[in-house]
């Protein structure tokens, strides 16, 4: 696991996630992004809450789960503009 302050927002990254509950026949989502920042934004802004919980971002041998993805998105170091409203729906991943 990579330390949060070592995450390279500029390195290419991939997102893996499952629609619905794990163990069901719901398809896996896979997307690649030119930067880790774009991958984090995709998880936080484009995926619904349940899918966000299953999301993993992989970049430079780092593998981050939902809680770490949300922390990166909320970080003052996050380089992209955030959506203004309703952007952090992974609160339930902390439970």
Domain locations along the chain? 4-83
* Arithmetic mean of pLDDT, 62-85: 92
The model carries a pTM of 0.80
| Cβ atoms 59, 45 nearer than 8 A | no
Sheet architecture: strand order including 28-33: 28-33, 13-18, 56-59, 62-64
Whether the predicted pLDDT of 5 surpasses 90: no
| Cβ atoms 64, 17 nearer than 8 A | no
Provide the mean pLDDT of the chain.
84
pLDDT at 6: 82
* Arithmetic mean of pLDDT, 72-88: 82
Going by pLDDT thresholds of 50, 70 and 90, the confidence category of residue 39 is very high
């Amino acid at each position: 696991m990579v330390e949060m302050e070592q995450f390279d927002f500029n390195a290419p990254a991939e997102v893996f996630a499952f629609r619905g509950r794990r163990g069901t026949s719901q398809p896996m989502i896979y997307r690649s992004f030119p930067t880790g920042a774009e991958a984090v934004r995709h998880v936080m802004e484009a995926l619904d809450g349940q899918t966000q919980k299953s999301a993993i971002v992989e970049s430079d041998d780092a593998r981050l789960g939902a809680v770490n993805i949300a922390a990166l998105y909320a970080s003052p170091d996050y380089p992209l503009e955030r959506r203004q409203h309703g952007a952090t729906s992974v609160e339930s991943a902390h439970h």
